[in-house]
């Protein structure tokens, strides 16, 4: 049943490792996170066990872990989606777990998690960590049952999520895309739209035929506030502040590789080579056991 999926390490984390790790930040934070993990554990197992019991096809227990859990980190507008797509094409054993896609699907389907998340979204608030963790774990359980590896995109975004995720899925590879802020700002700020149709233009690679005008209607193009350079820079600064502890966390574990550059087509061959080497090494180790 579902308890075969929950590792003993997770239970120990609730009262042990997560507390000691987060104690570096503050005792209050550690206590809050431990309590949060405990509530997540009970809620998730109750929900997932109910779903497994109610499904006629769910007769076998999932394996204790998937082959690999690969996390990809990257700034907004930094080509993370492009790199992820190439990885999925070249390494089909990976299943894409995108928290953004999951969130939209749950909200659209009005699931229990979707309705819970929508309450925060309607108020203009971030969806809480415990809700996002539940969404990821639901998808992860299905992938694990099918013997797939995971390509995690957009999760974790906080240290608390990283600790919970690492204890559950054992993230063993992390790709960190490091693109200069100037490149991203230029790329995004070159984006203009035609409001009525939603057509998008970019002066870097898909400019309008007439500067500032929509190709089909001749109406003026506008730039969204979020695409203006000052807004982009604020988002990038927030991202760096949030992910700096994550990068350090995975560096200490020795599982992260950083790739630098300005173009996805140039960066990806390096990613492909590194990932292929990691998978080949693991295959060799598995065959010698």
| Residue 199 appears among annotated catalytic residues | no
SS3 189: helix
| Residue 157 appears among annotated catalytic residues | yes
In three state form, how does the secondary structure of 56-99 look? CCCCCCCCCCCCCEEEEEECCCCCHHHHHHHHHHHCCCEEEEEH
Looking at the chain, which runs of residues are DSSP E strands? 69-74, 94-98, 149-153, 173-178, 191-194, 199-202, 256-260
Selected catalytic residue, list 17, 145, 157, 228: 157
Selected catalytic residue, list 224, 234, 253, 260: 224
| Residue 235 appears among annotated catalytic residues | yes
The contacts of residue 119 (CB under 8 Å, 6+ apart) are: none
The contacts of residue 64 (CB under 8 Å, 6+ apart) are: 4, 5, 7
Selected catalytic residue, list 11, 118, 199, 235: 235
| Residue 25 appears among annotated catalytic residues | no
Selected catalytic residue, list 75, 80, 95, 187: 80
Which residue has 């992820």 as its token pair?
84
| Residue 224 appears among annotated catalytic residues | yes
Active site residues: 80, 157, 191, 224, 235
């Amino acid at each position: 049943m579902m308890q075969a999926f929950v590792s003993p390490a997770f239970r120990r984390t609730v009262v042990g490792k997560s507390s000691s790790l987060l104690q570096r930040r503050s005792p209050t934070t550690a206590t809050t996170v431990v309590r949060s993990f405990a509530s997540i554990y009970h809620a998730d197992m109750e929900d997932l066990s109910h779903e497994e019991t109610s499904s006629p096809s769910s007769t076998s227990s999932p394996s204790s872990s998937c082959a690999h859990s690969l996390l990809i980190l990257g700034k907004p507008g930094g080509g993370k989606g492009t790199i992820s797509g190439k990885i999925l094409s070249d390494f089909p054993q990976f299943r894409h777990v995108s928290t953004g896609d999951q969130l939209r699907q749950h909200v659209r389907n009005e699931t229990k998690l979707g309705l819970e998340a929508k309450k925060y979204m309607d108020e203009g608030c971030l969806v809480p960590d415990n809700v996002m963790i539940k969404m990821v774990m639901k998808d992860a359980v299905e992938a694990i049952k099918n013997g797939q590896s995971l390509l995690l995109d957009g999760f974790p975004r906080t240290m608390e999520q990283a600790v919970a995720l690492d204890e559950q899925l054992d993230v063993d590879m992390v790709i960190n895309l490091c693109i200069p802020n100037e490149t991203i700002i230029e790329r995004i700020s070159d984006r203009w739209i035609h409001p009525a149709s939603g057509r998008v233009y970019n002066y870097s690679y898909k400019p309008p035929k007439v500067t500032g005008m929509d190709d089909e209607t001749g109406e003026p193009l506008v730039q969204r506030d979020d695409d203006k350079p000052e807004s982009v820079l604020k988002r990038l600064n927030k991202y760096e502040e949030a992910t700096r502890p994550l990068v350090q966390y995975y560096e200490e574990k020795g599982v992260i590789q950083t790739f630098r550059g300005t173009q996805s087509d140039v960066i990806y061959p390096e990613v492909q080579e590194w990932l292929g080497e990691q998978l080949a090494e693991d295959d060799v180790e598995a065959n010698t056991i």
